Amino acid sequence: MNISNLIFIGTGTSEGIPRVTCLTRSDNFCIVCKDSIIPGSLNRRRNTSVLITKKINNTEEINIMIDVGKFFYESAINLFPRYSIKKIDSIILTHTHADAVGGLDDLRDWTNNTQKEIKIFLRKKDLKSISSSHDYLVKRNKQSGGGVAKLNFNIIDKEPFTIKGVKFIPLPVMHGPYLDVFGFKFGNVSYISDTSLIPKETEKIINGTEILILDALRPEKTHGTHFTLEQAVEFTKKINPKITFFTNATHDIDHLKINNLLKKETPKMQYAFDGQKIKIKI
Ligand SMILES: [Zn+2]
Ligand SMILES: [Zn+2]
């Protein structure tokens, strides 16, 4: 396995941090949202997504993203120049909520200007959902003009699949009582961005993972479709990886404050922040 990098494109929940109405209130209701608009604040969070970037040789690298949410454009403005990310080879989708697919339309910039197409890896039912939410991206005859993103859809199921030599193992999990979604294991990483329940069979695949990236919406209050921080801590202790990065956080998470508290826990666990870059083995 080669040493590569993973960049957190976004670590926030669907609505993003700040919540606009927290900024427009006249009381001091939310210190996290107010802090998040200070330049460089680690509380500024866009939709949850990661980018895996692997060097092939001195001049070429491959870039694979997981999810492309509503705030992808803003994440990309912020992070792609900083990390010199010039192209997106493939995107794998966990599910089709707006915070996972809302940025599909913005991919036109790359397919119009730097590359022919972007490969999208998704389940059959997710392609069906995108065919109705973004019909013009799937069916050419629905396009009213040129210039839309050229996406090449590839169907995945529970079987492992490979993108340019990187093997991905789907991790089926529940995201609320009715919706099954995917996380993915690749190299020494297991990534689960949206879950309320991780079945035993999936837990078996995750066992032995070195880096766990896990949904941890907020402390205490259950939501029904996401892990609370307490559930995420409990699952982390069960799996016992070298390190866990929590993601998909609401404005209830004050980044530095909560990470300071989490320092007491074993194994090592921390909330990730937008733009954080970590070394992985793939
Ligand atoms: Zn707030
Ligand atoms: Zn979702």
Q: With a threshold of 0.85, does the pTM exceed it? A: yes
Interatomic CA distance for residues 257 and 263, integer angstroms: 10
> 250 CA to middle of ligand 2, Å?
13
Residue 52: what pLDDT? 98
Ligand 2 centre from 194 Cα, in Å? 6
Distance between CA 85 and CA 272 in Å, rounded?
Answer: 20
pLDDT in tens, 164-215: 999 999 999 999 999 999 999 999 999 999 999 999 999 999 999 999 999 9
Ion ligand 1, residues whose Cβ is below 5 A away: 19, 22, 30, 33, 251
First to last CA, the chain: 5
**Residues 121 and 101: beta-carbon distance below 8 Å:** no
DSSP string for residues in 163-208: ETTEEEEEEEEESSSS-EEEEEEETTEEEE-S-SB--HHHHHHHTT
| pLDDT tops 80 at residue 270 | yes
pLDDT tens-digit series, residues 110-160: 999 999 999 999 999 999 999 999 999 998 776 766 789 999 999 999 999
- Distance (angstroms) between ligand 1 centre and the Cα of 9 equals 20
Residue 221 pLDDT > 80: no
**Ligand 1 mean position, distance from CA 31 (Å):** 7
Least confident of 154-163, 222-231, 239-248: 222-231
Tens of pLDDT along 64-109? 999 999 999 999 999 999 999 999 999 999 999 999 999 999 999 9
Q: What is the pLDDT of residue 194?
A: 97
Strands ordered across the beta sheet of 189-192:
161-163, 166-174, 180-186, 189-192, 211-215, 243-247, 268-271
- In what helix (H) or strand (E) does residue 130 lie, and over which residues does it extend? helix 124-133
The kind and range of the H/E element at 129 are helix 124-133
**75 C-alpha to center of ligand 1: Å?**
19
Q: What is the mean pLDDT of residues 252-273?
A: 97
Q: Distance, CA 100 to ligand 2 centroid (Å)?
A: 7
What are residue 62's DSSP bridge partners?
A: 54
* Spacing, Cα 153 to ligand 2 middle (Å): 20
**Could you say which ligand is closest to the alpha carbon of residue 35?**
1
Per-residue pLDDT at 1 exceeds 90? no
- pLDDT of res. 145: 67
- Between the CA of 80 and the centroid of ligand 1 the distance, in Å, is 27
Q: How far is the CA of 252 from the centre of ligand 1 (A)?
A: 7
- Strand order across the beta sheet in which 3-10 lies: 151-156, 118-123, 90-92, 61-66, 49-55, 3-10, 277-281
Distance 23 CA to ligand 1 centre (A): 7
Model confidence band, residue 56 (pLDDT cutoffs 50, 70, 90): confident
To the nearest whole percent, how much of the chain has pLDDT over 70?
99
Domains of the chain: 3-281 (3.60.15.10)
How many angstroms is it from 181 CA to the middle of ligand 2? 8
Exposure string over 8-47, b if 16+ CB within 10 A, otherwise e? bbbbbbbbbbbbeebeeeeeeebebbbbbeeeebbbbbbb
Task: Give 175 Cα–ligand 2 centroid separation in angstroms.
Answer: 7
